[in-house]
Amino acid sequence: DTEVTQTPKHLVMGMTNKKSLKCEQHMGHRAMYWYKQKAKKPPELMFVYSYEKLSINESVPSRFSPECPNSSLLNLHLHALQPEDSALYLCASSQGMVSTEAFFGQGTRLTVV
């Protein structure tokens, strides 16, 4: 089983809203990632959690706030987003911080209006 589950699949939010994206995996993976992908571009790394600790923040604006409540769950809290933040948000997980494969969830298509 290589399933990473993301909810919701689609989200439309206003610039003053607060919303959260959720990601869950039950593969025992200890590294979890958030990526942002714009149309016709490769995924762009936002955050990495390793063993439930934030290990990489790629200078992401504070309107994006990650949270890792436990080893299976990863959240991305959104607040005061801008229309240019509209994108496909991808969660991925891998076994650890060594050379292993990363598996992606289906993504959340976010539209900021």
Partner 1 sequence: QKEVEQNSGPLSVPEGAIASLNCTYSDRVSQSFFWYRQYSGKSPELIMSIYSNGDKEDGRFTAQLNKASQYVSLLIRDSQPSDSATYLCAVYNYGQNFVFGPGTRLSVLP
Cα–Cα distance between 58 and 67 in angstroms, integer?
Answer: 15
Cα–Cα distance between 47 and 112 in angstroms, integer?
Answer: 20
Among 21, 90, 110, 112, contact with partner 1 (rule: CB under 8 A):
90
**3-class SS at 75?**
strand
Which of 85/108 has CB closer to partner 1? 108
First-residue to last-residue Cα distance in the chain: 36
Which of 2/111 has CB closer to partner 1? 2
Quick one: DSSP state of residue 105? -
* Nearest distance from C-beta of residue 105 to partner 1, angstroms: 6
Among 26, 41, 51, 54, contact with partner 1 (rule: CB under 8 A):
41
- Which residues sit at the interface with partner 1, rule CB under 8 A? 2, 33, 41-43, 45, 48, 56, 88, 90, 97-107, 109
